[in-house]
Amino acid sequence: MATARARDIPDRPGAASGGTLDAARAAHAQRRAQLVEQLRTATAPPRLDKEISNLFRERERVPAARIDTSAFRHVLAVDREAGTVEVEGMCPYGDLVDATLPHGVMPAVVPELMGITIGGALAGVGIESSSFRHGLVHETVLEFDMITASGEIVTARPEGEHAELYFGFPNSYGTLGYAIRILAKTIPVKPYVRLEHRKFRDAPAYYEALAEACEDPSADFVEGEIFARDQMVLSVGRFVDQAPYTSDYTFEKIYYKSILEREEDYLTVRDYIRRWDTDWFWCSKNLGMEIPLVRRVIGRERLNSLTYTRIMRWFNRSRLGKVYDLLGYRSESVIQDVGVPIERAPEFLAWFHETIGILPVWNCPFRAIHPHGFPLFSTPPGALFVNFGFWQPVRRREAKPDHWYNRQIEKKVAELGGVKSLYSDSFYPEDEFWRHYDRRVYDGLKRRYDPEGRLRGLYEKCVLRR
């Protein structure tokens, strides 16, 4: 069996280093025992003590026992033959990718920002340009160990005693427990990715081509970018063994600008996986990071989503964004990812242009693979959906009620039979919230895995921000 032992995985943060696979698992067991003790002796409701978070909703500060899980960032084993990787829940995808690529494989779905942890993507909703084929991140997970607020550890799989937890954990955002060990699928890679960028001026034709690309067996990656009402790009990637050249978007060149300039491009697999991270898609421009001199001062190693997230959180705490209010503008942060059935995508886009008006917009097609379905992020198995990602403030002079733009998005997505991830702000009234997220299933899981209510409930955490 071609299992990569811990000593074979490069010595970098997030990758197991030194010793045999048995030793790596023994070290994991020791970390697990320490975590169990933290939880069992906690005198207040537990909350993860994380250095940085990719959640874009501020929460109230309440008394809590800070639980340190930062040590759970090791890759325990890469099994190329079986097509799996065994990894701890707090391992960032940047480290996970660097550990798997030397073995000719990558996780089947790698979220676009390298600071996202695999446990966070499982508890939330992780997506990328391979999701049309492999589903969302949680569909690539074969099993996981969850530790409850009381310190009990259970192993969830698609079948068996904890199958309901396996299907109910995605989109639960740490309100049932924390994933500390995950066994996930990998896919074989070739050294390079060839990209084809096709331009469109008409939305129905663009979405028709996107749907056709998702049925093309030769396509490994499919996504789209919307730059204007009449400026859409379909980007299709395929693994290739050789490349006549490779482009570098990790420093001075900017990936999203290349999409409009090129019809064809070649990247190394690693650079393709990280293509959006260097500039946080296109959001780095809001921080002046597209200015060549600023990029050189910041340096290649710090041009990434972790840097921008730290800056953004400082910016929000300092309330510098309120300066626009002094200029007579009303500003509302609209940071959302929503999924819409492919057949309703042109209708949603037309409405979005008229009502919200943020550009650019990211499109990423995905489909649920498992016939069982996932009740807290429910789409019909096999049905193709399109994720719309938009992450900027709306600034208008006309007065609107608080959270008006976000509520319009929530209502429109529901009207079109879509779904919304809960990583960012939500403003649903409670009865409406539970019409979209299966309360019966969630309450049953809560009673079984957090009977004392030591963790916040899903509505409390994701909407009330407690």
User: Are 230 and 140 contacting, i.e. CB atoms less than 8 angstroms apart?
Assistant: no
Write a three-state SS string for 299-353.
Answer: CHHHCCHHHHHHHHHHHHHHCHHHHHHHCCCEEEEEEEEEEEEHHHHHHHHHHHH
Question: Over 60: is that where the pLDDT of 328 sits?
Answer: no
Question: What pLDDT score does 320 carry?
Answer: 57
What single letter denotes the amino acid at residue 126?
Answer: G
**Nearest partner of 228 among 387, 393, 361, 405, judged by Cα:** 361
| Residue 261 Ramachandran class (φ > 0 left, ψ -120 to 50 alpha, else beta) | alpha
Question: What pLDDT score does 60 carry?
Answer: 61
Q: How confident is the model at residue 325 (pLDDT cuts 50, 70, 90)?
A: low
Question: For 76-100, what is each residue's pLDDT tens digit?
Answer: 999 999 999 999 999 999 999 999 9
Question: For 404-424, what is each residue's pLDDT tens digit?
Answer: 999 999 999 999 999 999 998
Question: For 189-237, what is each residue's pLDDT tens digit?
Answer: 999 999 999 999 999 999 999 999 999 999 999 999 999 999 999 999 9
Portion of the chain with pLDDT greater than 70, in percent: 90
Task: Name the average pLDDT for the chain.
Answer: 91
Higher pLDDT, 357 or 286: 357
Question: For 134-191, what is each residue's pLDDT tens digit?
Answer: 999 999 999 999 999 999 999 999 999 999 999 999 999 999 999 999 999 999 999 9
The torsion angle over the Cα atoms of residues 183, 187, 192 and 198, rounded to 10 degrees, is: -110
Question: Over 60: is that where the pLDDT of 3 sits?
Answer: no
Report if pTM > 0.75.
yes
**Nearest partner of 111 among 366, 333, 425, judged by Cα:** 366
Higher pLDDT, 9 or 392: 392
**Nearest partner of 267 among 215, 315, 196, judged by Cα:** 196
In degrees, rounded to 5, the angle at the alpha carbon of residue 213 between the alpha carbons of residues 207 and 219 is: 150
Write a three-state SS string for 152-165.
Answer: CEEEECCCCCCHHH
In angstroms, the first-to-last Cα distance of the chain is 47
Task: Give the chain's radius of gyration (CA, Å).
Answer: 22
The domain segmentation of the chain, as residue ranges, is 3-188
User: Are 316 and 333 contacting, i.e. CB atoms less than 8 angstroms apart?
Assistant: no
User: Are 462 and 437 contacting, i.e. CB atoms less than 8 angstroms apart?
Assistant: no
Q: How confident is the model at residue 463 (pLDDT cuts 50, 70, 90)?
A: very high
Question: What pLDDT score does 65 carry?
Answer: 81
Question: Over 90: is that where the pLDDT of 330 sits?
Answer: no
| β-strands 231-240, 192-200 pairing | antiparallel
DSSP 174: T
Answer yes or no: CATH 3.30.465.10 is held by domain 3-188.
yes
Pairwise CA distance, residues 312 & 368, whole Å? 33
**Nearest partner of 179 among 197, 160, 166, 189, judged by Cα:** 166
Backbone angles phi, psi at 389, to 5 degrees: -115, 125
- CA–CA distance from 296 to each of 252, 300, 301, 303 (Å)? 8, 7, 10, 10
User: Are 396 and 330 contacting, i.e. CB atoms less than 8 angstroms apart?
Assistant: yes
What would the two tokens of residue 130 be?
Answer: 């391979």
Question: Over 80: is that where the pLDDT of 337 sits?
Answer: yes
